[in-house]
Chain A
C-alpha cells in the first residue's frame, strides 16, 4: 500500500549538509504493523516527516526518491492534494502530546477540525463524531470533556486525544512517532494496548517509531532498524529477535538488561558514539563501533541485501550473535 523508494532527505546547516535520511526503501502492506527502531538522530522521525511532506524547507529538503501511496507519488503531489491526504488517509501521532495540541482551543474543536476538513459533516455531526472518538480511545464522560482544554488532561489522556484526532477520518495508515516516550510505564501499557486493539478493530496499517525494542516486540509484524540515516536491518518480528544479523542490532539487543533474566550478566555495550552525519565518507557508518571490520568496510557503504527471503541486512560481513 505504501512504497518508499530510495528516499533521501538533507538539512543544510552552517557546518555543512546533514544527510539525515540516506536512501531508505521499504514497503508497507495494508493492515500490517511495522516498527522502525533506532537511536536519537538516526533519521527515523525525519523519514516519517518526509513521507508526510512535513519537512520544513529550508533548512530541510527531500532530494531524491519516491513515496508511492495507492499508486500516487506523494513527493510530487501539490499542496491541496497533500492536505486532503494528511489526517485523512495517513495520519500521525507525535511524541509529545502537550506540544502537539493547541493550548488555547478546546479538545472538541481540535477533533472536529479534522472531521470538518475532510468530510461533509456539519458542525453538530462533527461534534458527535468527536464524542464517539473520545469514547473509542477510552476517555470517560466524553460528552462533558469536549469543552475542556488540553491542560485539564493528564499526559496519558492527551495522548489518547491525539490518537482520537489521528483516527477521526478512519486513516489507512497510522504513523505513531514515539507515542509513549513521554509517558510512564503503566500509561505506556495502556496506550500500546489501545493502538493494538484499534488496529484490529479498524484494520489500519501502523508504523511504530520507537527506540524501545521492548515496545515493538509485542506490537508489530516486521522490524526495521535504522542507524545514521540508513536502514541497516529489516526482518520479520520473531526472526529479528531470535536471529539478528547486523552487528548494530545484535549490539543493541545485548546491551539491554532483561526483566526476566535468570542470572546477573554484565551488559555488553556498544563502544563509541554514532557518527556525525555531516559530510559522511563512503564507508560503512558503523565502522568505528564494529568489531568485525574488514577492508571492504572502509571503502564502500554496504547496500541492503537479502540474507534470506524476508531478512535484509546492510553489512559486508554476515555475523551471527555468537561471533560477537
Chain B
C-alpha cells in the first residue's frame, strides 16, 4: 500500500459557514458558525488520509463539503482537475459515480422500508448502469465482496446487526465502482469486536480496488492503524497535517500532543509510566472563536503572540504542515 504521489483531490481555502438566524418568518442572519474555516490539503491517489478531531471541530462538515453534500461558502475542491464547488447539480451527480461516502450511523443511513437489494441497486438505477437480471447479479456480487450472504438481498435493514448494516452501506458505496470514498466515522457506532471486522474489510477493499479514502474518526488508535497521512482539526481549522509515523511519534502542535496523551493505551504497565497533558476547559464555540490562535484558551504553552495573531498553516518540513507560532 505505497501511495503514488499523484494528487487525486485538492482542497484549497475551503470555508463552510452556517448562518445563525433570528426570527421565525423573516430569518435574518445574526452571525455564522464557522464549521470549516479556511482549510487546504491534498489527497494522493491510493492513500488513506485520516481526519481526526473532537466533536464539533468540523471534520464531518469537511467530508460532506468535499462531496458537495454541503455547498462550500468559498474555496475550491479540485477533484482530478475539476473544481466541484463550481459545478451544477447534474454535473455533480456524475462525479458521485467516482466519489462516494459511508456514513457514521448505519441505523439511520439505510432506509428501513426498502430491502437490501433496493438499497444497493439504487445508485445503479439512478446512473442507468444496470437493470433487471444484470442488476441482481451485481448486487449479489457486492454482497459477496463485503462478506454478506447473497441470499440476504430480500431482507430489510432491521434484520441485521450494526456491523452487518455497515457492510450494506459499504456495498452501496461500492456499487458504482468509485475510486474515492469519504468514510465518516464508519466504526464509531459499532462494538469493539465488530470494529476490527469493518476496518479489515475497508483495508482489504482498498488493496483489491485501489481505493482512496478520507477516513474521518475521533479514535486516534484506529486512525493510526488505517491512515498513511493524518490531519488534525480543531475548531474548524487543520492544525497539523503530516505523515502518520511522524504525527504519532513526534507531534509538533501542542493540541496534537495533548490529544495523543489523552488517549488511554490498553496496557497497565505503559499507562503507569505515561504522563498526561490534561487540557483545561472546553472547546470554544465555533460561532465565536477566540482572537488570535484558536487554541489559545486551552493551550498550555501559549505566549503573547498567540493571543494577537492568527498562526498560518505552513509547511514546517517536507510534507509536514503545522499552524502554530511556536513551532519552527
Q: Which residues of A contact B (CB under 8 A)?
A: 39-40, 154, 156-157, 184-190, 192-193, 211-215, 217-218, 237-238, 241-242, 251-253, 255-261, 264, 266-271, 273-274
Q: Complex: how many Å from CA A184 to CA B199? A: 21
The answer to the question of B7 belonging to the interface, with a C-beta cut-off of 8 Å to chain A, is: no
B266 contact set on A, CB distance < 8 A: 213-214, 217, 241, 253, 256, 258
Contacts known (A185-B220, A190-B279); A267 close to B264, Cβ less than 8 A: no
- Bits for B209-232, please: 1 = Cβ < 8 Å to A, else 0: 000000000101110110000000
| Closest chain B CB from A181 CB (angstroms) | 11
A266 touches B200 (CB 8 A): yes
The answer to the question of B72 belonging to the interface, with a C-beta cut-off of 8 Å to chain A, is: no
A184 touches B278 (CB 8 A): no
A187 contact set on B, CB distance < 8 A: 54, 282
B224 touches A255 (CB 8 A): no
| Closest chain A CB from B300 CB (angstroms) | 12
B193 touches A186 (CB 8 A): no
B274 contact set on A, CB distance < 8 A: 218
- Segment touching A, from B98-106, B148-156, B255-263: B255-263
Residue in A186, A190, A252 with the greatest tally of chain B CB atoms within 10 Å: A186
A257 contact set on B, CB distance < 8 A: 221-222, 224-225
Q: Complex: how many Å from CA A188 to CA B282? A: 11
The answer to the question of B55 belonging to the interface, with a C-beta cut-off of 8 Å to chain A, is: yes
Q: Complex: how many Å from CA A254 to CA B224? A: 16
B279 touches A186 (CB 8 A): yes
Number of interface residues of B (CB under 8 A): 43
A214 touches B264 (CB 8 A): yes
| Closest chain B CB from A93 CB (angstroms) | 18
The answer to the question of B270 belonging to the interface, with a C-beta cut-off of 8 Å to chain A, is: yes
Residue in B224, B260, B267 with the greatest tally of chain A CB atoms within 10 Å: B267
The answer to the question of B265 belonging to the interface, with a C-beta cut-off of 8 Å to chain A, is: yes
A214 contact set on B, CB distance < 8 A: 263-266
B263 contact set on A, CB distance < 8 A: 185, 214, 259
B262 contact set on A, CB distance < 8 A: 185-186, 188-189
A259 touches B196 (CB 8 A): no
Q: Complex: how many Å from CA A316 to CA B10? A: 56
| Closest chain A CB from B302 CB (angstroms) | 16
B224 contact set on A, CB distance < 8 A: 257, 259, 261
Q: Complex: how many Å from CA A187 to CA B279? A: 8
B163 touches A259 (CB 8 A): no
Q: What 16 new A-B contacts, CB under 8 Å, besides A185-B259, A193-B276? A: A185-B218, A186-B278, A186-B279, A190-B278, A211-B192, A215-B264, A217-B271, A255-B193, A255-B195, A258-B221, A261-B224, A261-B225, A264-B225, A266-B200, A267-B196, A271-B197
B195 touches A211 (CB 8 A): no
24 residue pairs from A and B, CB less than 8 Å apart: A184-B55, A186-B258, A187-B282, A188-B262, A189-B276, A211-B192, A214-B263, A214-B265, A215-B264, A218-B268, A252-B193, A256-B196, A257-B222, A258-B265, A259-B221, A259-B265, A261-B225, A266-B200, A266-B203, A267-B199, A267-B225, A269-B200, A273-B161, A274-B191
10 smallest A-B Cβ distances: which pairs? A214-B264, A269-B196, A257-B225, A255-B196, A189-B262, A218-B271, A184-B54, A267-B196, A213-B266, A39-B191
Q: Which residues of B contact A (CB under 8 A)?
A: 54-55, 161, 163-164, 191-197, 199-200, 203, 218, 220-222, 224-225, 248, 258-272, 274, 276, 278-279, 282-283
Q: Complex: how many Å from CA A193 to CA B262? A: 10
B225 contact set on A, CB distance < 8 A: 257, 261, 264, 267
Q: Complex: how many Å from CA A157 to CA B282? A: 9
Of A39, A212, A258, the contact of B193 (CB 8 Å cutoff): A39
| B interface: dominant SS | helix
B55 contact set on A, CB distance < 8 A: 184
Q: How many A-B residue pairs have CB under 8 A?
A: 121
Q: Complex: how many Å from CA A269 to CA B194? A: 7
Q: Which residue of A lies closest to B163 (CB)?
A: A273
Contacts known (A186-B54, A217-B268); A256 close to B221, Cβ less than 8 A: yes
A154 contact set on B, CB distance < 8 A: 282
Q: Which residue of B lies closest to A214 (CB)?
A: B264
B269 touches A256 (CB 8 A): no
| Closest chain B CB from A270 CB (angstroms) | 4
A211 touches B191 (CB 8 A): yes
A192 contact set on B, CB distance < 8 A: 264
Q: Complex: how many Å from CA A20 to CA B192? A: 20
Q: Complex: how many Å from CA A190 to CA B193? A: 26
Q: Complex: how many Å from CA A271 to CA B200? A: 11
| Closest chain B CB from A266 CB (angstroms) | 7
| Closest chain B CB from A135 CB (angstroms) | 15
Q: Complex: how many Å from CA A136 to CA B81? A: 57
B279 contact set on A, CB distance < 8 A: 186, 189-190
Of B193, B220, B276, B282, the contact of A270 (CB 8 Å cutoff): B193
Q: Complex: how many Å from CA A170 to CA B267? A: 31
Q: Complex: how many Å from CA A252 to CA B276? A: 25
B163 touches A255 (CB 8 A): no
Q: Complex: how many Å from CA A185 to CA B52? A: 11
Q: Which residue of A lies closest to B271 (CB)?
A: A218
Q: Complex: how many Å from CA A266 to CA B226? A: 10
Q: Which residue of A lies closest to B162 (CB)?
A: A40
| Closest chain A CB from B69 CB (angstroms) | 24
